[in-house]
Amino acid sequence: MRRSLILVLLAGVLSGCGGAPVRGATVPLPWPDEGQAAVEVEGVGGLGVSGGAEPVPIASVTKVMTAYVILRRHPLRPGDDGPLIEVDRTAADESYSRLESTVPLREGRSVRLRRLLELMMVPSGNNVARLLARWDSGSEQRFAARMNDAARRLGMAASTYTGASGNEDTTVSTAPDQLKLARAAMRLPALREVVARTETSVPGDARRLPNTNTLLNRHGVIGIKTGSGTAAGGNLMWASRVRGRLVLGVILGQAAGTNPVAAKAAALEAGDRMSAAVERWLLDRPGA
């Protein structure tokens, strides 16, 4: 019985590259009416995909690859906060931008790698993503090349990265490709810890910076990243744990062409419905 279920679900994923949603027959999911989506459950397989196969802008979901590349090259052990990284003038100057998501950084201040990862992934600091790219590779262009190398190794054939922050619309991917990245990223303990945080702060600054992923701790959600922009629409990569199983989902292109705030809200609403439906299915499924 289980083997048959797995084959049915995997067949749904493999055939789900067209425009219409492909649903596992036994898994009634509220697939978004627009954009792209893909979901899988550990030990079960894919629950289906929806939307087209055309690569689309993914906004700040890009930062998942940035964090993945950084942590693959600079692993953090449990309890290890990593090296001190000096804030350069560019990152400090970008703190004042009103055109993108940034966090306040002071030039010359040294911040531990783990905290910088938090500032990039939790409040979604674009200036932090680019700072980490320069620190790791000397330039943002060389770091983007490393991101593309990592994408190729993960089999993300439809993905192109042109920067570390996702602020550029030329970074494009698909929901199935981002699901491959989610699977790899959530194997890194330090990254799991970072994306599970509900808030963080800049050292020396008392202000608390909340996680943009407001689904945390709902329906078992434990991460991982939101992203939004006018062209990209609202995007969400999410992970949850239900009855011991890791659930991974990606939603792209919600309310594209509106404003980033409305688009992010649309992606979070879609993610809330999807994660709740998967949770119900797993809780009701005998032997899950």
Which pair of structure tokens corresponds to residue 209? Answer: 């910076």
pLDDT at site 25:
37
> In this predicted structure, what is the pLDDT of residue 285?
80
How far apart are alpha carbons 170 and 167 in whole angstroms? Answer: 9
**3-state DSSP assignment of residue 219:** coil
**pLDDT value of residue 1:** 33
pLDDT score at 16 = 37
C-alpha to C-alpha distance for 13 and 7, rounded to whole angstroms: 10
Segment 255-277, tens digit of pLDDT? 988 999 999 999 999 999 999 99
How do the residues of the chain divide into helix, strand and coil, expressed in percent and rounded to 5? 40, 20, 40
- Dihedral in degrees, nearest 10, Cα atoms 71, 153, 197, 111: 30
Separation in Å, CA 43 to CA 242, 244, 283: 12, 10, 15
Instruction: Strands of 97-215 (E only): list them.
Output: 110-112, 172-173, 199-200, 209-210
pLDDT of residue 217: 96
Phi, psi of 70 (to 5 degrees): -60, -45
Taking the alpha carbons of 211, 32, 65, 131 in that order, is the dihedral positive or negative?
negative
Strands 110-112, 172-173: pairing is unpaired
The first and second tokens of residue 274, run together, are 């999807």
Residues of the chain where predicted confidence (pLDDT) is lower than 70: 1-26, 287-288
pLDDT digits (tens, 9 = 90+) for 97-155: 989 999 999 999 999 999 999 999 999 999 999 999 999 999 999 999 999 999 999 99
Cis peptide before 6 (omega within 30 of 0): no
Question: What is the phi/psi pair of residue 33, to 5°?
Answer: -80, -10
Domains, the chain, in order of start with CATH, read: 2-284 (3.40.710.10)
Judge whether 53 and 158 are in contact, CB under 8 Å: yes
